[in-house]
Chain A
Amino acid sequence: MSVKASPGMGAALLAVVALAAVPATNIPPYYLAFLYLIFFWIAMATSWNILSGYAGYWSFGHAAFFGTGVYTSATLATKFGVPFLLTLPVAACVAALLGSAIGFVVFRLQRLRGELFALITISMTFVVATIISNTPIDGGSGVYLISVPLPEAFGSQNGTIYLLGLFMATLTIGTAWWVFRSKMGLGLFAIHDDEDVAEVKGVPTFRYKIAAFALSSGIAGAAGGVYSIYVSYVTVGETFEVTVIMYPVVMSIFGGSRHWLGPAFGAVIVTTALYGFAAGPQASLVRGGVALGLIVVVLLLPDGVMPSLQRWWRILLPGLAPRQVLPELLVPTPRATGAVLAQIAPPLLQCRDVTKTFGGVRALKGITLDVRPGEILGLVGPNGSGKSTLINVITGHFQLNAGSVTFDGTSIEGMPAHRVARLGIARSYQIPRPFNRLTVLGNVALAASFGGGVGEAEAERLASYWLTYTGLAKKAFDYPVQLNLHERKFLELARGLAARPRILLLDEVLSGLNNTEIDEALGLMRDIRDRGTTIIFVEHLMRAVVALSDRVAVLNNGALIAVGTPEETMRNPEVVSVYLGKAHAS
């Protein structure tokens, strides 16, 4: 990601400098304390959002990392005499390590997503609280920090705490912005929309989730460290209370969890409303208003306030909004140039005795199949014959139980799907599975970036090219839900092509298309092959299979029953039997 100076960045820098100068004024220290609370919740909500908002892994364990930071700083400062400022990076590291360790276990198990992940993280909060409560770290009596020395900024400890809060908020927003704009951010958004597809498109999902969790928990730990000196007396009950768990969630939803600034916006509004009104009957009214506002936002602005503001801005002031112009086309450079003579070259892909079982069901029974470079291989068979399973095994989505898969001499069985994708194996899905909250351009650029291994700008230019190639250029800034089935199928194709694949696996890309659209698609596939990409395509439409395939492989009940030219295969009695019944075969 390239970072260029912009008026927005200049204004942000000025704002930070102006805020840093506030303690030098004669402002009553209460306002410094109040602003500190806002900074604190900005750091908490924004850090929560880096994992939970971007990647969609809703964590209710933020209090665990916050509490780890609180007690790390409190313990080091009070029991070991460590200068307080030095305890803060340690608090961040301990919390980040804890987050990483939890993630290392939890993220390996695909079933631990959604509500199960939320349950595990909330359990972690109770586990950490119980450990701290029942060990000398706290022991039940709390830790009092009043005697902990703290350097004075602008003549007071309040000034120091304020600046630490400002630093944490700035650092957190900066980190959230950086992640948002980076390749990692794109990957996290893809994980949010469809993690399995993201992995197959080349996103290193495990690594990204660990990194996001570490960043998120580390920042919460550092914020906890600062908080410990602010409140000066820390107890398990107060540190791990439910508001610490829930407020970041509420603030992020309110402000917009899909936007890097959304949680900060939510934190400012919610903190001001909750803490700014402390006397009189209006205090409860304001808090009730916040709750009501949240309901309204959830109902009317499901993406939160910030993304909605952005949308309204584009509508109301189209002249000032960023222009949506398709980037200049970049003609792709294929990884393998030109079509290779399929008959004489060594196989590009080799499957040997590939076996895949699901419980007691053997979905693939020792498939042995070679795919030659530059050919179009039709993969056919009745429903349930194992076609899609074979594609899933080749692309690394499923791990095989026995056998081997070799791609251009490299063994790829057991290899994570994102690494398989980066070797040059791309696929489309029978039922299109686009990333619904990325634009059409974003969907294709992601595949180019991760699968194709190119930089951000180049990825967008390549995406432009493939969108133009598949006739979707006019839809580049639409979202997938705005496309019809034909367009969504072609989006799948564009995503596959943008990864610069050496072999492209197309899973029933023609199903649901009319005759004109099918002819158009067949033309595209021939052209793709002519550009040097090997194609395996799963299809039920025999007209297309015969017209397009150099060879056809037929699966039945998980076994390969025939492979050869279309004519040979169609005359094979076993194939005829499978498709038309034994009477026709005899």
Chain B
Amino acid sequence: MPTKNCAWLRPIFFACLSLVVALPAAAQQQPPIRIGQTLSLTGPFAQTGLAHQIASEIFVERLNKSGGLLGRQVEYVVLDDQSKPDISRTLYEKLVTADKVDLILGPYGTAAILAAMTVAQRYHKVFVENTLGQPGLATYEWHFSATIGGADSTSTLPGKVLDAFNSTPHPPQNVLIVSSKFPSAQDMAHGMQRAADARNLKVLGFLEYEAGTRDYGTIAARIKDANPDFMFVACLGVEGSQILEALNKIGYKPTRHFYLYPSGLMAADPLADHATSYSGFEDVAPYTSTKEGGEFAAEYNARALKAGLPYPHVDSQAGNEYSGWQILVAGVKATNSLDDGKIAAWLDKNSVETIEGKRDFSGRSHTSASDTQQLKQAQNGKWVAIWPPEARTPGASLIAP
């Protein structure tokens, strides 16, 4: 009987069948790749830290849905550094030596990044960060920056800003520089002074205030007295809005003004109409025009709203974080390895396509060779891209009366 003749095939058939079933199961049972990071989930930078966390979670979920990394799922380990560099440094020690994560990503903020970088250097971990305000201080050879300002943004960004305003019908004839005494802000303010001097733009004054100040009355009075054509404010978070509030109280409204690292919420502030800032990713075209950019923005907005963020729109902070993940994962995929040295060696010689554009690391301290920052402006309660002209949000342009 034919059935009898095929009986010997039965065990082979079941053996093959079980192999087919078992192999993916075995792959699924492999432990996940653990990637660790600290973020400022409490403390003064908590709001920004939460934005970074949301971006990271979205990236990891998308990555796992698309099959994970090296055939394994990715587990995101995030610890709260309480916005304190010493805790960040301690927790990176924990991530590397106690939790034994496979890879790490940098925390949020210059001070925390530099503190954490010492740990990465000690244990020879590749270190991709996305918010280092002073890239020149990053001397670790396996450091890679996902920031978009390049190695010398203190020179290039002020130049871009002045280029943008000089392109308008009424270029400013003078500038007033206002700066927080925060390291990265101060560096940028001095960069603006150099750029103004180089272009023979009259600097009406260089006003400084202590980081964390709440009373901007004196600063506002001096701004009003100076009545500058252009006001460059090297500030962080809500400081810019507080300065505008103080100016409004004494009946002054700046016409052309720039804010370095403002809270995303600033766009919704009527006093901040026509305020400008740097940009890498916003909740408008052209950033959301790509498939990944659009999906990321939509998912981010939904989660930010659910999390109660005051500005539930994707912005450069979230975009930077997402780009950082893209860079690290690109290194892993390209080398097919979790070996930090191999990943670093690959990143050293290659570039990575991110939602904020292409990143190479040929600049000093493994930053991008060029500054790809763009400029945005608050218009009708929302940020829109206005510079360079080829990257403007459709229908938008720089308004500089």
- Known contacts A231-B85, A233-B137; decide if A29 and B118 are in contact (CB<8 Å): no
Q: Which chain A residues in 417-455 approach chain B with CB under 8 Å?
A: none
With an 8 A cutoff between CB atoms, is A315 at the interface? no
Question: What residues of A have a CB within 8 angstroms of the CB of B81 in the complex?
Answer: 278
Question: What residues of B have a CB within 8 angstroms of the CB of A235 in the complex?
Answer: 111, 183
State which of B61-69, B86-94, B316-324, B341-349 sits at the interface with chain A: B86-94
Question: What residues of B have a CB within 8 angstroms of the CB of A130 in the complex?
Answer: 210
Which residue of chain B is the closest to A278 with respect to CB atoms? B79
Least CB distance, A151 to chain B, in whole angstroms: 15
Q: Which chain A residues in 263-292 approach chain B with CB under 8 Å?
A: 274-275, 278-279, 283-284, 287
Question: What residues of B have a CB within 8 angstroms of the CB of A133 in the complex?
Answer: 181, 210
Which residue of chain B is the closest to A146 with respect to CB atoms? B118
- Known contacts A33-B93, A233-B115, A236-B181; decide if A146 and B79 are in contact (CB<8 Å): no
Q: Which of B77, B94, B210 has the most CB of A within 10 A?
A: B94
Contact of B111 among A142, A157, A278, A283 (CB under 8 A): A142
Contact of B97 among A29, A232, A233, A287 (CB under 8 A): A29
Q: Give the complex CA separation of A284 and B122 in angstroms.
A: 30
Q: Give the complex CA separation of A237 and B110 in angstroms.
A: 12
Least CB distance, B245 to chain A, in whole angstroms: 22
Determine whether the beta carbon of B79 is less than 8 Å from that of A237.
no
Determine whether the beta carbon of B122 is less than 8 Å from that of A275.
no
With an 8 A cutoff between CB atoms, is A34 at the interface? yes
With an 8 A cutoff between CB atoms, is B255 at the interface? no
Question: What residues of A have a CB within 8 angstroms of the CB of B117 in the complex?
Answer: 146, 232
Mark each residue of chain B from 106 to 117: 1 if its CB lies under 8 Å from any CB of chain A, else 0.
Answer: 000011001101
Least CB distance, B174 to chain A, in whole angstroms: 24
Least CB distance, B108 to chain A, in whole angstroms: 14
Q: Give the complex CA separation of A28 and B100 in angstroms.
A: 10
Determine whether the beta carbon of B137 is less than 8 Å from that of A144.
yes
Determine whether the beta carbon of B89 is less than 8 Å from that of A33.
yes
Question: For chain B, what secondary structure do more than half of its interface residues adopt (helix, strand, loop), or is it mixed?
Answer: helix
Determine whether the beta carbon of B78 is less than 8 Å from that of A275.
no
Q: Give the complex CA separation of A133 and B181 in angstroms.
A: 8
Q: Give the complex CA separation of A230 and B114 in angstroms.
A: 12
Determine whether the beta carbon of B134 is less than 8 Å from that of A141.
yes
Determine whether the beta carbon of B212 is less than 8 Å from that of A28.
no
With an 8 A cutoff between CB atoms, is A30 at the interface? yes
Q: Which of B42, B86, B211 has the most CB of A within 10 A?
A: B86
Question: What residues of A have a CB within 8 angstroms of the CB of B216 in the complex?
Answer: none
Least CB distance, B70 to chain A, in whole angstroms: 25
With an 8 A cutoff between CB atoms, is B98 at the interface? yes
Determine whether the beta carbon of A279 is less than 8 Å from that of B121.
no
Q: Give the complex CA separation of A436 and B111 in angstroms.
A: 48
Determine whether the beta carbon of B122 is less than 8 Å from that of A157.
yes
With an 8 A cutoff between CB atoms, is B339 at the interface? no
Q: Give the complex CA separation of A158 and B118 in angstroms.
A: 11
Contact of B89 among A141, A147, A156, A232 (CB under 8 A): A232
Question: What residues of B have a CB within 8 angstroms of the CB of A227 in the complex?
Answer: 86
Q: Which of B81, B82, B90 has the most CB of A within 10 A?
A: B90
Question: What residues of B have a CB within 8 angstroms of the CB of A279 in the complex?
Answer: 77-80
Determine whether the beta carbon of B114 is less than 8 Å from that of A31.
no
Determine whether the beta carbon of A238 is less than 8 Å from that of B84.
yes
Determine whether the beta carbon of A146 is less than 8 Å from that of B139.
yes
Q: Give the complex CA separation of A30 and B87 in angstroms.
A: 11
Determine whether the beta carbon of A278 is less than 8 Å from that of B85.
no
Question: What residues of A have a CB within 8 angstroms of the CB of B38 in the complex?
Answer: 278
Interface of B with A (CB < 8 Å)?
Answer: 38, 42, 77-82, 84-87, 89-91, 93-94, 96-98, 110-111, 114-115, 117-118, 121-122, 134, 137, 139-140, 181-183, 186-187, 210-212
Pairs A-B, 6 closest by C-beta atoms: A233-B114, A28-B97, A140-B186, A30-B94, A30-B98, A30-B93
- A-B contacts, 9 of them at CB < 8 A, read A133-B181, A141-B134, A144-B137, A146-B117, A146-B140, A232-B117, A235-B183, A243-B84, A278-B94
Q: A147-B139, A237-B212, A278-B80 are in contact. List 14 more A-B contacts (CB 8 A).
A: A29-B97, A30-B97, A33-B89, A34-B90, A37-B86, A133-B210, A140-B186, A141-B187, A142-B114, A231-B86, A231-B89, A232-B89, A232-B117, A278-B94
